[in-house]
Structure 1
Amino acid sequence: MVKAIQVGLGFWGFDWTKEVIPQVPTVEMVAYVDANPEAIARVQAELGVPQNKCFLSLEEAARSVEADLVIATLRTEAHYPVVKQALELDFNVIVEKPFASTIAQAKELVALAKARNRILMVSQNYRFQPAPIAAAEMIGAQKFGPINLVSIDFRRHAPSQGYRYWDMPDPLLADMSIHHFDLMRMVLNDNPKRVSCRTWNPAGSPFGHHPTGVATIEFEKGVIVSYRGSWMSNGPATPWAGEWTIDCSEGEIWWTSRDHFMGKAGPDRLQTRERDAQPKQVELAPVEYPDRRGTLAAVAKVIETGSVPARFSSGEDNLYSLALVQATILSAFRDGEWVEIAEVMERV
């Protein structure tokens, strides 16, 4: 059993406490931390967490319990100071995405984890689904030969779906597209080289910043990805991972993932189609611990065994997902100018 302290019991943190952590039997919760007494009172009243497991600071919890792991489920701007403190206290850490606000902060945390010989994992939960795993394996085996083009569409209509963050900067690229960008890297087993991106705010939108955008992303091995995303689409809603078409020299792979929302739940889907043939539905192998449960189970297993599995989203690996987000934002600011990932990675 991996003993864990959760830091951050707000809206999303409470969901982790209630829905995610109890479903990972290899993790034993020894403490819950939040600086807000009301958040502490809520987990005690609604989830029956005992008072002696609740603390107002990580330092206080660290003095009181023995633990292997900190689960950081706070707002983004709090990630850096809390993760840094946890690593300095010699805890392993799993943190929600994005794990830092800047590349400089992210690099500092990665270096600190290495210096302390601690594990730092980013909870890129979309990786732990059947369809992207199967797609990554097909691409790795070159089932249909080299890739010609990857096309991705994400469509949601936020005003009619309970979206709440109207004033968030870069609501598409920073809040949503990071999932798609990280999946690109996982499925293609490659890192981005440069990007051109445009974003805009449609007429009548309640957003204060741009919820719609398009990007062309070139990867190191030469694959080009055409990405289109919108929080203001009136077209058919896609699953959260978007709809992917991977056109290869000998055929096509189409897939989508995380098709659930407001009581609706559907399985991941993946189809293959050889040239000039009818598409075939592929039966997908189930994932033992999907989604956020998968990220938590994965970091617990690494702590227990010391063995890092394929497609593990370490902080060091996730630097390139964070850099792709920041490069698209910078390109959009520059009216679609190509931005090299190296430029973003080197910025202080």
Structure 2
Amino acid sequence: MALRVAVAGLGHRGTVWARLIQTTPGLELVALADVSPAALSRATSRLGLDAARSYEDVDRALSEANPDALVVATPPDLHVAPCEAALARRVALLVEKPFTCRLDEAHRLVLAAEAANVPLLVAQNYRYLRVHRTVRQVIRSGRLGQVGLVVGQYYRVPHPLPPSLARLPHVVLWGMAVHHLDALRFVLGREATGAIAESFNVPWRSRPDGATFQALLRFKSGIRALYSATYESSGHEYFERGQEFYQRVVGERGTLHVFHRWLVLCERGKLPRLVRRGPRPEPEESILLRQLERAAVAGEPAECNGRDNLQTVALVEACLRSLTERRWINPQELLRELD
């Protein structure tokens, strides 16, 4: 029997999820929910779905369509209510990143899911990009030796943002940095123990708020990281759709350079060599949907579970607090305050 899945929030990401659910064996798209009638109409038309399966209220969608799982793709600051509605009905959850905009909200949802024994996953799809999986493999292979320093830089030219994202302060933190911070946890296999950050705009731009972000990070085992992201770059509009990503992982035995899809391993005493990323048998979102299916049907623990993602939310909150307090903040201390 197929896993019955509903989608809440029908912007770009919600529509992507709905289309993937339709084409994934073992899953059935049973309902769409959005407060906007226009968004519902567009989505049902594009997806070829009966209008009777569309709802302007998540509670109605859950009670009438009776799904086994709900994908939450509402605006980032509106994730909590649909999650609570699903958990009240013991419906499995896959929540778009960022999980929530506040650590205490995420913690409350995780406790509720664990108490009800309901799977709760967070869609941190970037950690499954081949480039990040390959970096993780190289680190774990020991070819770099002990890792001590990571530098990550993301650049994007100004571009239209969804209104739901553009209205948030520190926009690039929510739009992109949360991806890279989670991926950094994933590739290092270490949790953050300190963060100090700043969020600003370049002198010639003032909107959207906080379109540039920089952070110094500390991780367990003494690893340090420097990370920056911006939506205010210029001059590379025609390269990779206006985006650039660079990462440098420095170890005692060598350095791994990452530039978009290209990886170059420079081991001590050896010539630099390219590292292949390997095949991409399915989209990263499909990996997450399969995790959701196995968790909901077989009770299999999901890698991208809500409890794990509390570490990412805590790291983001540490960055946010450091913006106002102008000091280092330890994400682990923030988590301990909640226990």
Larger mean CA deviation between 62-71 and 101-110 belongs to 62-71
Shift of the 307–285 alpha-carbon distance from structure 1 to 2, 3 Å rule, reads farther
2:278 matched to 1:278? no
- By how many angstroms is 1:292 displaced? 2.3
Shift of the 26–272 alpha-carbon distance from structure 1 to 2, 3 Å rule, reads farther
Shift of the 35–230 alpha-carbon distance from structure 1 to 2, 3 Å rule, reads closer
Partner deviation per Cα, 1:4-39 (whole Å, 9 max, x = no partner)? 011112343234334x33343332111112233222
**Match in the other structure for 1:105:** 105
Distance 1:170 1:210 in 2: 4
Structure 1 residues 60-79: aligned runs within 5 Å:
60-79=60-79
Distance 1:166 1:85 in 2: 26
Structure 1 residues 45-60: aligned runs within 5 Å:
45-60=45-60
- By how many angstroms is 1:101 displaced? 2.2
- By how many angstroms is 1:289 displaced? 2.5
Other structure's SS at 2:149 match: strand
**Aligned letter for 1:285?**
G
| Residues 180 and 241, structure 1, Cα contact 8 Å, conserved in 2 | no
**Match in the other structure for 1:319:** 310
Other structure's SS at 2:203 match: coil
Larger mean CA deviation between 216-225 and 284-293 belongs to 284-293
Which stretches in structure 2 are left out of the alignment for 5+ residues? none
| Residues 196 and 329, structure 2, Cα contact 8 Å, conserved in 1 | yes
**Aligned letter for 1:79?**
H
**Match in the other structure for 1:338:** 328
Distance 2:166 2:30 in 1: 36
| Residues 131 and 256, structure 1, Cα contact 8 Å, conserved in 2 | no
Query: RMSD value over aligned CA atoms?
Result: 2.3
**Aligned letter for 1:17?**
A
2:155 matched to 1:162? no
**Match in the other structure for 2:121:** 121
| Residues 32 and 53, structure 2, Cα contact 8 Å, conserved in 1 | yes
Match among 300, 319, 322 for residue 307 of structure 1: 300
Distance 1:11 1:153 in 2: 25
Shift of the 83–167 alpha-carbon distance from structure 1 to 2, 3 Å rule, reads closer
Other structure's SS at 2:174 match: coil
Shift of the 39–252 alpha-carbon distance from structure 1 to 2, 3 Å rule, reads same
Shift of the 22–271 alpha-carbon distance from structure 1 to 2, 3 Å rule, reads farther
Shift of the 284–251 alpha-carbon distance from structure 1 to 2, 3 Å rule, reads same
Shift of the 328–9 alpha-carbon distance from structure 1 to 2, 3 Å rule, reads same
Shift of the 63–330 alpha-carbon distance from structure 1 to 2, 3 Å rule, reads closer
Shift of the 274–324 alpha-carbon distance from structure 1 to 2, 3 Å rule, reads same
| Residues 104 and 347, structure 1, Cα contact 8 Å, conserved in 2 | no
Distance 1:75 1:208 in 2: 16
- By how many angstroms is 1:212 displaced? 1.8
Distance 1:166 1:111 in 2: 30
**Aligned letter for 1:294?**
I
Structure 1 residues 253-264: aligned runs within 5 Å:
253-257=256-260
Q: Number of residue pairs matched?
A: 332
Distance 2:61 2:168 in 1: 32
Other structure's SS at 1:173 match: helix
**Match in the other structure for 1:7:** 8
- By how many angstroms is 1:256 displaced? 4.3
| Residues 70 and 91, structure 1, Cα contact 8 Å, conserved in 2 | yes
Larger mean CA deviation between 41-50 and 72-81 belongs to 41-50
The structure whose residues are more often helix, as a share, is 2
| Residues 173 and 329, structure 1, Cα contact 8 Å, conserved in 2 | no
Other structure's SS at 2:175 match: coil
- By how many angstroms is 1:276 displaced? 4.2
Partner deviation per Cα, 1:97-136 (whole Å, 9 max, x = no partner)? 1122211111110001001101100100101211211211
| Residues 18 and 29, structure 2, Cα contact 8 Å, conserved in 1 | no
**Aligned letter for 1:251?**
G
Identity score, percent: 24
Shift of the 47–234 alpha-carbon distance from structure 1 to 2, 3 Å rule, reads same
**Match in the other structure for 1:177:** 177
